[in-house]
Amino acid sequence: MKEVLYGVEKVGRILTGHRPTGPRHLGHLVGTLNTWARLQDEYDCFFLVADLHVLTTDYTHPQRIRENILAVLLDWLGAGLDPERSTFVLQSAVPEHAELSVLLAMLVTVARAARNPTYKEQVRELGLSPSVGLLAYPVLQAADILVYKADAVPVGQDQLPHLEITREIARAFNRLYGTTFPEPQPILSAVPRLAGTDGRTMHTSYGNTIPLSADPEEIERKVLAMVTDPARVHPSDRGHPEVCLAFAYHHAFNAGAVAAVEERCRRGEIGCVPCKRGLAQVLAERLQPFRRAREEWQGREGELWELLHVGSRRARALARATLAEVRTKMGLVSWERRD
């Protein structure tokens, strides 16, 4: 499928997104944002701010959502997602996401939705009786993707079960009502998942992340606190970078120097403190665009909302066309809509 958009030939369409749960961190950068920024050249990209999905678990803090939407937008801009070339969409501003979700929900058994590993994990963690909204999370996500007939979805590993449900729904719909949706392909980041600064799984609630907006002092403090090879006491002790967290970060962010770092560590030619200071410096440089985006957009909130509004309007035209087709195929009456 080739189409010409904004004067550039694209190989297909992408839809992907984040839930606006707060500022983005290094895990988001290596897991998704770097890939997304790169894919903009090849694909017609739709980047979704999934605010409805936030409500599946966090509907008791309405005051947080707006702030978090802006935080996510700033980090996306810092990562080089470009609203001129790509379409930024606010999920709740395009009601066709919710509408398609209701229609697609008819094709998913409760048993299938309950088998979703993310759902099971959240039910365990929340310790609450799960809502219908949480159970239907992947159906809404399928609607996000299918409403634009996306060909590919670049996501982190954790999202693969959701994408599998999306593909099943697309297949079921196509079988029942005739070919309508492409079966969207996942695109995974090549970089392995990064651990948090304390060595546990990276998670904002563990306080072990480095936010993309961190300043050089915060970066240095967090890097210096990372665990290294416990066998090293003196800088001249031979090190084992494979067990060192700072080395994993060198690997992810300091590709040009990683071989030299490894050699010097193994030979006992560098102390852990200077090694980590070097890493902190590389990270501070890498994160500079994110700090710059915050400075650049400081006090221009209205323009940020406008950017999302313009994108959502553009997206909605496409979403409406899909809904007209889906409604007809499912036997619903479609009066021409004037709104």
Measured from the CB atom, is 186 or 271 closer to ligand SF4?
Answer: 271
Q: How far is the CB of 265 from ligand SF4 (least distance, A)?
A: 3
Using the rule CB under 6 A, give the single segment among 155-163, 283-291, 302-310, 321-329 that binds ligand TRP. 155-163
Q: How far is the CB of 226 from ligand SF4 (least distance, A)?
A: 8
- Establish if 16 lies at the interface with ligand TRP (CB under 6 A): yes
Q: Which does 26 bind (CB under 5 to 8 A by kind): ligand SF4, ligand TRP, none?
A: none
- Which is it for the CA torsion 128, 132, 136, 140, positive or negative? negative
Q: How far is the CB of 297 from ligand SF4 (least distance, A)?
A: 35
Q: Which of 14, 15, 30, 319 binds ligand TRP (CB under 6 A)?
A: 15
Measured from the CB atom, is 18 or 250 closer to ligand TRP?
Answer: 18
- Report whether 77 contacts 293 (CB < 8 A): yes
Task: Locate 288 and state its tokens.
Answer: 């500079």
Measured from the CB atom, is 261 or 326 closer to ligand SF4?
Answer: 261
Residues forming the site for ligand SF4 (CB under 6 A) = 228-229, 232, 239, 241, 244, 246-247, 261, 265, 270, 272, 275-276
Measured from the CB atom, is 67 or 158 closer to ligand TRP?
Answer: 158
Q: How far is the CB of 44 from ligand TRP (least distance, A)?
A: 15
Q: Which of 145, 219, 246, 283 binds ligand TRP (CB under 6 A)?
A: 145
- Establish if 19 lies at the interface with ligand TRP (CB under 6 A): yes
Q: How far is the CB of 46 from ligand TRP (least distance, A)?
A: 9
Q: Which does 145 bind (CB under 5 to 8 A by kind): ligand SF4, ligand TRP, none?
A: ligand TRP
Q: Which does 155 bind (CB under 5 to 8 A by kind): ligand SF4, ligand TRP, none?
A: ligand TRP
Q: How far is the CB of 4 from ligand TRP (least distance, A)?
A: 24
Q: Which does 85 bind (CB under 5 to 8 A by kind): ligand TRP, ligand SF4, none?
A: none
- Establish if 153 lies at the interface with ligand TRP (CB under 6 A): yes
- Establish if 155 lies at the interface with ligand TRP (CB under 6 A): yes
- Report whether 12 contacts 152 (CB < 8 A): yes
- Establish if 50 lies at the interface with ligand TRP (CB under 6 A): yes
Write phi, then psi, for 110 (nearest 5 degrees).
Answer: -60, -40
- Report whether 213 contacts 75 (CB < 8 A): yes
Q: How far is the CB of 231 from ligand SF4 (least distance, A)?
A: 9
315-324 core/surface letters (b: 16 or more CB in 10 A; e: else): bbebbbebbe
Task: Locate 11 and state its tokens.
Answer: 């190989």
How many CB atoms are located within 10 Å of the residue 277 CB? Answer: 14
Closest residue by Cα to residue 45 from 8, 95, 91, 85: 85
List interacting residues with ligand TRP (CB under 6 A): 15-19, 48, 50, 53, 141, 144-145, 153, 155, 159, 162
